[in-house]
């Protein structure tokens, strides 16, 4: 689906290793760069059923189905599989509805022979709620850290470049996936859209990778020089480090992916984007000298604190400058809500 000219401009592929060289869980989450493990989950029952036939994998999934509804994006064939904004950026080009797994699978099978099928896409349904028992039979080996498992199901789709807060291990069950990955420092070259109005939670690149407008987005050429390509088939896994941008294409007629997000932040922590948006509101429009002072404040308290920065304060009165836990985080949220609502 991606234009060949884009692929030709990407100089490198993501590093690959055979599955036996590492485990797809904690075995490589500290690498700091994407890594493909070929065949790492090829022994999953779901992968074996998917390789037999579309009907077989659908029947297998329905064995775990509770009948619970999941969020699903739907649109006509005019969307060309891309979930994006509408023309005037006041809404999306796809409707977000709720449907059962059986309804989604039946819709996908009914249109699998269409040259341009309508958009149907379950984006990240929690497996524990949607398919309890599935993860027991299709476990990711080597996972010491807690993770959240989700399933992604759809026809041919294009998901705009975005990042995730957490380390991500993506496992292809059915169909083919192509990832185009960019390191976090390419933010300025990806022309990211609104922070507070997004298709699915995370800010996305506004560039259509199928038809990039280099006149409108000239720095995108620089981003492509730093990009990596990862093409996956059933049984392969891809490790995506936290904050790496990734554009994702599902290339089969029936595509199923399971991913595990490994949370690196403490359990009590809120998403950093919330702090970013508040900082935009409170700091961005200050005079440059005041912004410089506040940059130093953030360096001192947030980004590069010394171990003894608060040692001069009695331990029982250090508040958020002391050790944080869930109780301290709740107190901080309550204080922030009170100040925001004042």
- Residue 307, CA distances (Å) to 260, 318, 321 in order: 33, 13, 11
Residue located via tokens 């590093």? 15
Domain with CATH 2.60.120.10 in the chain: 4-262
pTM of the model: 0.91
pLDDT (tens place) for every residue of the chain, 342 residues total:
455 578 888 889 999 988 766 665 555 556 789 999 999 999 999 999 999 999 999 999 999 999 999 999 999 999 999 999 999 999 999 999 999 999 999 999 999 999 999 999 999 899 999 999 999 999 987 666 667 899 999 999 999 999 999 899 999 999 999 999 999 999 999 999 999 999 988 999 999 999 999 999 999 999 999 999 999 999 999 999 999 999 999 999 999 999 999 877 777 888 888 899 999 999 999 999 999 999 999 999 999 988 878 788 888 888 888 888 888 888 888 888 888 887
- Kindly state the DSSP code that residue 192 receives in the 8-state scheme: B
Contact 36, 230 (CB under 8 A): yes
Longest dimension (CA), the chain: 70
Report the CATH number of the 4-262 domain: 2.60.120.10
């Amino acid at each position: 689906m991606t234009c060949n000219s884009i692929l030709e401009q990407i100089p490198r592929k993501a590093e690959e290793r055979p599955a036996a060289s590492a485990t797809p869980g904690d075995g490589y989450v500290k690498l700091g760069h994407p890594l493909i493990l070929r065949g790492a989950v090829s022994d999953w029952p779901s992968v074996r059923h998917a390789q037999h036939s579309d009907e077989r994998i659908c029947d297998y999934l329905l064995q775990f189905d509770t009948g619970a509804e999941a969020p699903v994006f739907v649109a006509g064939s005019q969307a060309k599989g891309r979930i994006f904004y509408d023309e005037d950026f006041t809404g999306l080009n796809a409707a977000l509805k709720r449907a059962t797994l059986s309804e989604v699978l039946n819709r996908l099978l009914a249109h699998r022979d269409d040259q341009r099928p309508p958009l149907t896409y379950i984006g990240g349904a929690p497996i524990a709620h949607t398919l309890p028992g599935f993860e027991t039979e299709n476990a990711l080996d080597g996972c010491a850290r807690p993770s959240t498992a989700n399933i992604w199901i759809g026809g041919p789709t294009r998901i705009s470049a975005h990042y995730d807060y957490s380390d991500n291990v993506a496992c292809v069950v059915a169909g083919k996936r192509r990832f185009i990955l960019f390191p976090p420092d390419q933010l300025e070259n990806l022309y990211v859209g609104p922070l507070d109005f997004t298709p699915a939670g995370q800010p996305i690149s506004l560039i259509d990778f199928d038809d990039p407008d280099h006149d409108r987005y000239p720095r995108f050429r620089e981003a492509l020089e730093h990009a990596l390509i990862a093409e996956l088939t059933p049984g392969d896994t891809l490790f995506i480090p936290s904050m790496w941008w990734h554009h994702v294409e599902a290339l089969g007629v029936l595509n199923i992916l399971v991913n595990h997000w490994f949370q690196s932040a403490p359990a009590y922590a809120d998403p950093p984007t919330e702090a970013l948006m508040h900082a935009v509101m409170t700091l961005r429009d200050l005079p440059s000298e005041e912004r410089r002072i506040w940059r130093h404040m953030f360096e001192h308290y947030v980004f590069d604190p010394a171990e003894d920065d608060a040692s001069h304060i009695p331990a029982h009165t250090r508040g958020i400058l002391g050790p944080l836990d869930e109780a301290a985080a709740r107190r901080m949220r309550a204080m922030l809500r009170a100040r925001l609502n004042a």
